[in-house]
A = this chain, B = another copy of it.
Amino acid sequence: MSPRNSSRTAGAGRASTDLDGAGRAGGAGAGVVADGARPARMSSEERRAQILAASIAVFGAKGYDGATTDDLAQAAGVSQAYVVRMFGSKQGLFMAAMESVADRLEVDFRAALDEADAALPVGATDEQRTHARKEAMSVAYLRLLQERGLHLTMQHAFLRGGDPAIGPVARASFGRIWRFIREDAGFDAEFGKSFLSYGMLLNTLIGLRMVDTDGTGEADELLALCFPDLDAVAGVVPRADERW
C-alpha cells in the first residue's frame, strides 16, 4: 500500500525513469563522481568497500540495533535490498564492518610504529625508542578519529559479546589488537593494559559527545588530559547534536 518510507529507495534518485538520456557513464574510471551524478555502476568490490565505510559511520552513530538497513543503504547511496543481499543480513554486514575496523587499526598501528622507528635518530637508546613507539600508538589512535565512526563501531561491537554470532567476532577483534600490542609490537603487558584503558576512555568520551558540548563543561579538565590537542580533535569528533 504505502510506498514505504519516502527514502527507502536508493539515493541518487531517478532509477527506473532512466530512459531519458540514459547516457552512461564513462565505464572504465568508475569515478566517485559528484555532479548531477549518475547512479553509476561499479564493481561489487568497490560497492562493498563503499558500503562498509558508510556502515562504519552509521553503526558508530546509531549502534547495531539502532541502525536500520535502510539507514545503512542511504548512507552508502544504494538500495536497502542491495546491502542486505550483498552481506546476507544486517548481522553479516556488522561483522564485516567490525573486521574492517580491526584491519584498519592493525594497519595503522603497524605503519605508525614503522614511522616511529624510521624517525629515530641514530644511536638512540632502547628506552627512547620504546617511548617514541608508545607515543606513536596514541597518535595513530587519535588520528583514526578521521575515520568516521570507527571508534564507536568498535565500542558498540564490544558490547555485543553476548550475541552468539557477533560476540565471537568482537572478541576475536579485541584479541587481535591485544596480540598485536604484545607480540608484533612487543610492548609489555602493563603498557598494553594502560594503552587499551586509555583507548576505552577515549571511546567513552567520544560516545558521550563530550568533546564539544561547550556548554556545561562537565569535566573538561579530564578532556584536556585525554586529548593532547583538543582543538584539533574537536573538528573531527562527532558532535552532540549530530544524531548522524
**A positions within 8 Å CB-CB of B:** 61, 63-66, 152, 155-156, 158-164, 167, 170-172, 174-175, 178-179, 182, 189-190, 192-194, 196-198, 200-201, 203-204, 207-210, 213, 216, 218-219, 221-222, 225-226, 238, 240-244
The contact of A197 among B198, B209, B216, by CB within 8 Å, is B198
With A and B bound together, what is the CA distance between A226 and B190 in angstroms? 10
Expressed in whole angstroms, the Cα–Cα distance for A167 and B152 within the complex equals 15
* Contact partners of A222 in chain B: CB under 8 A: 178, 189, 192-193, 196
Apart from the given pairs A171-B218, A192-B222, 6 other A-B contacts in the complex at a CB distance below 8 Å = A61-B162, A159-B159, A179-B219, A190-B225, A193-B222, A200-B200
A244 contacts across to B, CB distance below 8 A: 162
Among residues of B, the one whose C-beta sits closest to the C-beta of A197 is B197
Nearest B residue to A176 via CB reads B218
* Chain B residues closer than 8 Å to A204, beta-carbon distance: 155, 158, 174, 196, 200
